[in-house]
Amino acid sequence: MNHSNESTPLCFSINSPPFNYTHTIASAYFSSVFSALGLTFNLIAFVVLLKSFLRTQSRSRSSFLIFLCGLVFTDFMGLLVTGSIVVSFHFTQFNWRLLDPHCHFCNFMGMSMVFYGLCPLLLGATMAMERFVGINRPFARSTSMMTKSRAVSIVLLVWAGAGCISLLPLVGVGSYHMQIPGSWCFVKISSEASDMAFCLLFSLVGLLSIAVSFLLNTISVVTLVKVCCSQDARQRRRDYEVEMMVQLIWIMMIASICWCPLLVFITKTVFSGSPLRIHYLLLFIRFATWNQILDPWVYILFRRAVLKRLYPRWDWSRGSIRTLYPSFVGTVCRLTRASVGSDPLGGSDGGVSVKEECKPQSFNVAPPSPP
The reported pLDDT for the residue numbered 14 is 78
Residue 131 has a CB neighbour count (10 Å cut-off) of 28
- Cα gap 95→112, rounded to integer Å: 20
- Cα gap 139→317, rounded to integer Å: 29
59-92 vs 239-272: helix crossing angle, rounded to 10: 40
Q: Which residues of the chain have pLDDT under 50?
A: 1-5, 141-143, 232-236, 315-326, 328-329, 332, 336, 338-371
- Cα gap 282→367, rounded to integer Å: 54
- Cα gap 257→267, rounded to integer Å: 16
The model's pTM: 0.77
The reported pLDDT for the residue numbered 174 is 87
Burial-class residue 63 by CB neighbours within 10 Å (0-12, 13-18, 19+): buried
The phi, psi pair for 184, rounded to 5°, reads -155, 160
Dihedral sign, Cα of residue 120, residue 122, residue 123, residue 125: positive
